[in-house]
Amino acid sequence: MKLQSTKLLGTASVLALLASSAATPANAAASNGLYFGGSTLASEAFRQIFDCYTGATVGASGWTDGFTFSSSFNANTPTPGLLPNTCTIVTSVQGMYAGVGSGNGLRGYISNKPSQWYGGTVTPPATFSLTSTSQQPLFPSAQPPYVDTLNTTFGSYPYPRVDVGLGDSPLPATLAAMTTSSITFTPTTNWNSLPATVTASGSTNVSYNTSSWGQPLQLPAFEVPVAIPVNLSFTPNSQVKSGGNIVAGGAIQLSGAQLCAIFSGLVTDWSSSTSIPTLDSTGTLVSQPFYYTNVGNGIGTAAQYTTTSAPIKVVYRSDGSGTSFILTNYLKAVCPLIDKNGTAKYATIFGATNLPSTSFSNLIANINNTTITNNWVGATGSGGVQSGVANTSNSIGYVSGDFVKPFAIASNAPNSASVQNEYQRIHGTYIPATTTTTSPTFIAPTPAAVNTAWGDAALTPPSTTSTWAAYNVYGINYPATEPSTNHGGLSVGGLSVLPLTNGNGAYPLSGTTFLYLYSCYGNNTNGQNLINFLNWFYQNPTANQAPAILRNNSFSALTSAWQTRIKNGVLTAGSGVAIALASGGSKDGCTGVTGGANP
């Protein structure tokens, strides 16, 4: 099925996409591709969304994506690995996704070179097991597979072009800053065959080319909770189980003050009795022992998590990571407010100008204490952190919610923590409930909780005429006049909204994955296929299964305000700012452009 209309919303041709039909388990008929690359956080979700859009899974001979169309799919349970059997089918178009990390996704996007969607030296195995704990994720990540061994049209790498880059951190705010180091890759065997070994060599600086590709665009794709996975040798009092299993966010319940203490290196052992700075409901500084939230299940008096030394292993992203950006954006907003007298040096560590950042090494450099950070563990990709926490006792890390139980596909995925939010701090909820409950007192990384965070009235979408920078949700700050009475005595003017939202039930470590797009695409068929997909993805009617797939992965579709702005702006032909085709005669995103991206 091919859509011909370039008027994107409300047309019969677009609505025809929404007809449901039985999905087949695999499809080798697609001949047109959509090529995405970047964020490993978004990789599993977009693989499933592409499967649903085409109505088929990808791969064969050990390189299958592992997903199954099933009537048992239930986004509210959740059901990891299952897809709805009522998906739309567009049999001529197949989406491919290379999970190379946000930093590499940005590099490929700015240079418009698919060869840049690579992460260095890597040798893929001849086969890959989705359940194996011994195989490390490849770069590009092999889970989900970045080639389709069933359909030879999509069986080679690098991809023939860059359609969309993805990252969990925003684009640079100015065109002058939109440069990247373009790296030369030299395959020692045929790069288009698997397995292959590819090495990186010299680099040159490349700038974004507006005359060829139009203006840069960044659209939030969906709402993301960044979970805090843990692997503990002890059982916290605050742990929450139901039916014998740890519930979502039930592994341990942690306050923001405890996260600041751990990620600053102030506390290095789970057995610690060190006093850490905390805030009461009026914003007054209070000192508490590190273990002060260790209550629950009938235990009302906090005690050490363990009396045996249990050094804290922080598992972090060693590659360029948008997940690191979301975490450090949270720490930068929250921690300096807690350490009012400066004794914990949070302002120096988290408040430095090099944060937030896609590079966790910036935070390590700010701590500047190798005795602490030498005990921390670097890992590549979200799958690497997932595996690192799962295989490292007494560890803590950070990944998107689809890499922890109950949303994760991997059988060895770790459980995650619940985190105290600002609403709870303001209303005097400092510790978990001491009685046995079926859900945590603090906030778990769930679709409903991240959607509540995005529902903050201060997180408003941009106007129609705004540039790409206005779509940077992390750059939406509270106004200087924001009353401290709204935030429990804290002055938050000028600080990022998402980490400090005081919504009841809002998950504080919330963010997004951005789609990095060009405003002008040159090839009518390829460009129109992309536009059709984006229109389907953002329409969110009842028959569109993308929101349900997102919920099944711990994410949430954008709030209606953000969806409306995207649909009425960059996805409405004639709005003046819409994505356009150079061959279509549109004066929207192709104004002043010669050729368009990927002619």
Per-residue pLDDT of 232-245, as tens digits, reads: 999 999 999 999 99
In 3D space, the residue among 443, 510, 502 whose CA is nearest the CA of residue 474 turns out to be 510
User: Does the pLDDT at position 24 exceed 70?
Assistant: no
Same domain, yes or no: 267 and 205: no
The whole-model pTM stands at 0.92
Per-residue pLDDT of 250-295, as tens digits, reads: 999 999 999 999 999 999 999 999 999 999 999 999 999 999 999 9
As beta bridge partners, residue 303 has none
Q: Which residues contact 583 (CB under 8 A, 6 or more apart)?
A: 522, 523, 524, 527, 596
Question: Which of 509, 532, 555 corresponds to the end of one domain?
Answer: 509
Q: What is the CATH number of the domain that holds 272?
A: 3.40.190.10
Domain interval for residue 37: 12-221+512-584
Q: Which helix (H) or strand (E) holds 560?
A: helix 560-568
The Cα–Cα gap between 269 and 264 comes to: 13
358-372, 497-511, 564-578: which range is least confident on average?
A: 564-578
Same domain, yes or no: 259 and 115: no
Tokens 């007809």 sit on residue: 19
Q: How many domains are there within the chain? A: 2
**Are the CB atoms for 267 and 253 separated by under 8 Å?**
no
Helix, strand and coil percent figures for the chain, each rounded to 5: 25, 20, 55
Per-residue pLDDT of 352-393, as tens digits, reads: 999 999 999 999 999 999 999 999 999 988 999 999 999 999
Q: What percent of the chain has pLDDT over 90?
A: 73
The Cα–Cα gap between 531 and 512 comes to: 21
Per-residue pLDDT of 199-240, as tens digits, reads: 888 889 999 999 999 999 999 999 999 999 999 999 999 999
Same domain, yes or no: 404 and 311: yes
In 3D space, the residue among 173, 200, 171, 176 whose CA is nearest the CA of residue 103 turns out to be 171
- Confirm whether 360 is domain-assigned: yes
Same domain, yes or no: 413 and 553: no
Question: Which of 461, 483, 509 corresponds to the end of one domain?
Answer: 509
Same domain, yes or no: 264 and 358: yes
The Cα–Cα gap between 373 and 375 comes to: 5
**Are the CB atoms for 550 and 224 separated by under 8 Å?**
no
In 3D space, the residue among 428, 490, 17, 587 whose CA is nearest the CA of residue 284 turns out to be 490
Residue 188: per-residue pLDDT: 74
CA angle 350, 356, 357 (to 5 degrees): 120
Residue type present at position 148: D
- Confirm whether 484 is domain-assigned: no
**Are the CB atoms for 285 and 340 separated by under 8 Å?**
yes
**Are the CB atoms for 267 and 304 separated by under 8 Å?**
no
The region that residue 40 occupies, defined by phi over 0 for left and psi between -120 and 50 for alpha, beta otherwise, is alpha
**Are the CB atoms for 533 and 525 separated by under 8 Å?**
no
From edge to edge, which strands make up the β-sheet containing 313-317?
A: 252-254, 415-419, 229-231, 395-396, 313-317, 377-379
- Confirm whether 454 is domain-assigned: no
